[in-house]
Structure 1
Amino acid sequence: MSQTDEIDELLNTPPAPPRAAVARRRSLWEREFPYLLILVLAAAGAGWVSLTREPIVRYWDVVAVVVAAVAIVEGWHDAEERGGRWRLVWTQLAHWAAFLIAMNLVFLPSMQSVLTSDALSLTVLLLLALGTFASGIHTASPLMAANGVFMGLCVPAIAWLDQTAMIVVLVIVVLASAVALFFWLRRRYRG
């Protein structure tokens, strides 16, 4: 291939699309999946602890690592080339290492003797929400920060549901009984 052919090939090669255009091509599912995964993992952990009344330390460790990985991947594209990306990795690793230390302090036997399993689960979920929100701020990811806010708002909601679960079950049973009685009476007097 001659030098003229190489120049012609370079001139005729279309430029790479800008990063924003590539990001737009990803489907909604591909863009939102990491955030949905974080929410599902957090909800599953809180639910599991509420059901079993057992702390699941390793599970929360894995969730923290998943959130850290999502934060690094999401911030990677917006970070400056080499220096910014290394800063992103080290700050996120330090951030999530601090979270893991705080979380494991909550799981110490002395803390477990003071907190109920529900309070322990909600405390870890609140720590995870705070860590996720702060990670979203540091990586300039509004979706990650919003994920943290949503998880944080789930903490009082879960606590309220846990306290009112018996009332909710009672209301559901009464409503189901009323509906069943209505249909039974309707069928009995019609036919």
Structure 2
Amino acid sequence: EDKRMRPLRLRKKIYEFFTAPITKFWADSIAYILFLLMFTYTVLVKMDLTPSWPEIYSICYILTFLCEKIREIITSEPVAIRHKFSVWAWNMWNTYDAGFIIFFLVGLTLRLRASSMDVGRVIYCVDIIYWYLRILNILGVNKYLGPLVTMMGKMVKNMIYFVVLLLVVLMSFGVARQAILYPDEDASWSLIREVF
């Protein structure tokens, strides 16, 4: 019996389009880029005591992201909360996300007070570094950039050993140079900077 495939109705087409994994991925990626643009604008321009619209968007995005992380923990496989959390925290990006969400919220709390607004702004500035680095997680699914991101991660781990060796050489010659050129220096924290 020959069954002909009937075309999908418009409503079903729209549903299938918006529930497709590729659509979700691109929607998430575009929303993330928009968040980065808004957060970048927030940290680059003068900050008033009342949050600007780009900052409000950034706050809403982070709070929504926090809700998503909580949902991920709750819907994970294990039954016990402790096991759910340990399964969720096994992925390093989840752990970093949680830490930098908390860091953002601390910055927001300090930023909303006039006495500590500058400290909150500095926390925002440090926090945005992570959110830019998180693009590496998105790029990991790209067939061209994904392997490069993985290789870069392994390379950084191996490079730490070379940095330690370089630091030993720099410290030894830096201390000797500083001691010979400036033998009568008083004790201060700036001496550490002068060694390098």
Q: Same fold (TM over 0.5)?
A: no
TM-score of Structure 1 vs Structure 2, range by shorter chain: 0.3 to 0.5
**More helix as a share of residues:** 1
TM-score, normalised on structure 1?
Answer: 0.36
